[in-house]
């Protein structure tokens, strides 16, 4: 059975200052003393949750993706988080899953937060990204996606009894406001329970340029919905290891996933 070690970086962000955020995050990553394999940053980690993509967007050859590539290679880690990307005259809130060898996976946020007019500035994605690491499968999503269980719902595609589900870990990167933190915490637990997977939520802290306060409340939840880690209202860097045998044990003893309804997701 394999293990996988993650580091969560729950941090304040410099509002719409990409260079300052890259410097700050590089210092935090360089401060790590424990061995880690995957480092998770918040949503729009280089800018904060800004509705100014025309001023702040980069392309995939821009400085921030290059920074992710350099850090990942130097530290021999997988580095992930979302940032503002321009492609074909469209703007995306794009999660980048950067491997040390420079290869990457991409996920464009599917559910745009219309309450804050995100849908007026960005283009929604239509494809999920499920990454593979050391025999683990990870479903990578962004913030508001958390409210929509259909998009994260497990599919049953693999025949092996230990790998009979589509993925093992759900990861949400976010800029989720403090005033709705109860919903954030509750839904992270719900997604873990209904999908019989580990669920990791990484949120920012502090007040953004619009005066919106964020409490963090980053969490790690096991497939039973039990909270393994939770931190609110302060910056934190937390490293932890998940064990595949714990996941398989739960799925074998309580194979609720076998009774799920079949379905097919057909994006617009």
pLDDT tens per residue across span 35-55: 999 999 999 999 999 999 999
Model confidence at 156, pLDDT cuts 50, 70, 90, reads low
- Surface-to-core class of residue 239, CB atoms within 10 Å of its CB (0-12 exposed, 13-18 middle, 19+ buried): middle
Distances (CA, A) of 225 to 12, 189, 190: 27, 5, 7
For residues 227 and 91, what is the distance between their CA atoms, to the nearest angstrom?
A: 35
The mean pLDDT value for 170-174 works out to 99
38 phi and psi angles, rounded to 5 deg:
-135, 125
Set 143, 178, 197, 231: catalytic member: 143
| pLDDT of residue 141 exceeding 80 | yes
143 is catalytic: yes
159 Cβ contact list (under 8 Å, min separation 6): none
131 phi and psi angles, rounded to 5 deg:
-95, 155
* CA-CA-CA-CA torsion sign (235, 236, 237, 241): negative
The mean pLDDT value for 216-243 works out to 98
Beta strand segments in the chain, E = 3-10, 38-40, 78-87, 90-98, 104-108, 130-133, 136-142, 169-174, 198-203, 205-207, 213-221, 227-232, 236-243
178 is catalytic: no
Structure confidence by residue, pLDDT tens digits, 64-120: 999 999 999 999 999 999 999 999 999 999 999 999 999 999 999 999 999 999 999
The whole-number pLDDT of residue 264 equals 79
| pLDDT of residue 225 exceeding 50 | yes
Kindly give the pairing relationship between strand 169-174 and strand 90-98.
Answer: unpaired
| pLDDT of residue 205 exceeding 60 | yes
- The angle formed by the CA atoms of residues 261, 161 and 265, to the nearest 5 degrees, is 35
CATH code, residues 3-259 = 3.60.110.10
Full-prediction pTM beyond 0.85?
yes
Set 16, 43, 166, 194: catalytic member: 43
Share the mean pLDDT of the chain: 95
Percent of the chain having pLDDT more than 70? 96
DSSP states of 24-93? HHHHHHHT--S--SEEE--TTTTT-S-S-HHHH-B-TTSHHHHHHHHHHHHHT-EEEEEEEEEETTEEEE
| pLDDT of residue 160 exceeding 50 | no
197 is catalytic: no
246 Cβ contact list (under 8 Å, min separation 6): 222
So where are the chain's domains? Answer: 3-259
């Amino acid at each position: 059975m394999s293990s996988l070690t993650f580091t969560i970086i729950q941090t304040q962000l410099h509002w719409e200052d990409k260079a300052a955020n890259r410097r700050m995050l590089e210092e935090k990553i360089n401060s790590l003393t424990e061995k880690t394999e995957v480092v998770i940053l918040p949503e729009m980690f280089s800018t904060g949750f800004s509705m100014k993509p025309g001023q702040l967007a980069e392309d995939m050859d821009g400085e921030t993706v290059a920074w992710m590539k350099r850090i990942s290679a130097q530290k021999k880690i997988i580095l992930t988080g979302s940032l503002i990307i321009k492609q074909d005259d469209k703007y995306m809130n794009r999660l980048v899953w950067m491997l040390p060898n420079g290869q990457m996976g991409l996920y464009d946020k599917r559910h745009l937060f219309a309450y804050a007019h995100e849908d007026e500035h960005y283009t929604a994605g239509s494809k999920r990204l499920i990454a593979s690491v050391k025999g683990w499968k990870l479903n990578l999503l962004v913030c508001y996606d958390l409210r929509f269980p259909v998009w994260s719902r497990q599919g049953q595609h693999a025949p092996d009894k230990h790998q009979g589900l589509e993925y093992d870990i759900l990861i949400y990167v976010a800029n989720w406001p403090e005033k709705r933190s109860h919903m954030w915490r509750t839904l992270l637990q719900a997604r873990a329970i209904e999908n019989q997977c580990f669920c990791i939520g990484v949120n920012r802290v502090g007040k953004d340029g619009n005066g919106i306060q964020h409490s963090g409340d980053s969490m790690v939840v096991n497939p039973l919905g039990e909270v393994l880690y939770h931190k609110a209202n302060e910056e934190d860097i937390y490293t932890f290891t998940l064990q595949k045998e714990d996941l398989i044990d739960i799925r074998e003893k309580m194979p609720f996933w076998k009774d799920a309804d079949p379905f097919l997701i057909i994006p617009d």
